[in-house]
Structure 1
Amino acid sequence: MAISVSYTNSQNGVAILRIGITYPVNISGARQSRAPLIFTGFVFGNWD
């Protein structure tokens, strides 16, 4: 399982934190693919 965290700071002072978790998914017991889960949180404040 791989976890990636990205942070975006917009000009209006709204910080967007995105955490993506990639996990293996078994399809028909034959092949594996990776499906992302995206969690987006909004943090309001001044991030200098």
Structure 2
Amino acid sequence: MLYLKKFLKIRDNRPEFDEIKKAGGVGLPCIVINDGEQVIFDYKKLIV
């Protein structure tokens, strides 16, 4: 439950999620780095 609460706090306060929320989405899957320092929706961006 702790991780869900952390995710929701980030999701509710970051502009990256605005369009997703407007469309009725949750914002998953996504990768949150360093407690919200960076949010990545496309895991392929992690592959070097």
TM-score after normalising by structure 1: 0.21
TM-score after normalising by structure 2: 0.21
More strand per residue: 1 or 2? 1
Identify which of structures 1 and 2 has the higher relative contact order when contacts are C-alpha pairs closer than 8 Å and 6+ apart.
Answer: 1
Q: Which has the larger radius of gyration?
A: 1
